[in-house]
Amino acid sequence: MTDTCASIDEIERMAKAAGWRRIGVDGAGGAGKSHLADELSQVLDIPVLDVDDYLHRNQGGYVDFVDYPALSAALSSMPALILSGACLRQVLANMGEDLDGHIYVMRMRDGLWVDEDECVFPDGVEVAIENLANGAAMISQYLDEPTEAVVSERDDESLRLSFEIMRYHSEFSPHETADVIYERHEHAA
């Protein structure tokens, strides 16, 4: 059963009680993975690695563009670490690695999971992806601009990354398989 907590102190106690020395921090884009990893690094006195630092950027994707040899070398050289990144379980599976404990960051607002639409798919992930793509097209039509004029190359890359993260959540269900769910509460603006 996955534990849920909302404080760094709770995660620190859980990690120490379980003897975790190699910890993964996963979550949707913008959930607060790096922030949590940095805070845990300080309280547990363990260094942080971020998968983003091993990414060949601007390639139109994420998991397929990680520098796996370099990341694997870094992992094997560190007996204790916090590894932060999107699609973390898939990245680890691609390297044949696992960690002692997995934390999933859920960004919460007014008691609701902000990123749920991008991570849970009652009608299937392909329907959700189609709906997201159609939403971008509707914005284009509403603004009476061709999609290419509204969706820049950067936005298109962001959309492809969103699709990749959605497929990752559909296949790996990291929000259901984590050892700990960290609820990061935001306040409505």
**121 and 111 share a domain?**
no
Residues 153 and 64 in one domain: no
Q: Following DSSP, what letter does each residue of 131-178 receive, concatenated?
A: HHHHHHHHHHHHTTS-HHHHS-HHHHHHHHHHHHHHHHHHHH-HHHH-
Domain contains 166: no
CA distance 46 to 22: 9
Q: State the Cα–Cα distance between residues 47 and 83, nearest whole angstrom.
A: 9
pLDDT of residue 60: 77
Query: What's the rounded Cα separation, in Å, for the pair 134 and 121?
Result: 16
Residue 87 belongs to domain with CATH number: 3.40.50.300
Same domain, 106 and 42: yes
From 159, 174, 153, select the one nearest 31 (Cα to Cα): 174
Tally the domains of the chain.
2
111 in any annotated domain: yes
Claim to verify: residue 110 and residue 70 sit in the same structural domain: yes
177 shares a domain with 101:
yes
Q: Contact at 8 Å (CB) between 114 and 108?
A: yes
Whether residue 128 is found in the same domain as residue 84: no
Q: Would you state the pLDDT for residue 143?
A: 57
Structure confidence at residue 144 (pLDDT): 53
* 138 and 58 together in one domain: no
Mean pLDDT in order along the chain per 10 residues (189 residues):
86 95 95 96 97 88 95 96 97 97 96 92 91 69 51 63 92 96 85
Task: Verify that 19 and 74 share a domain, yes or no.
Answer: yes
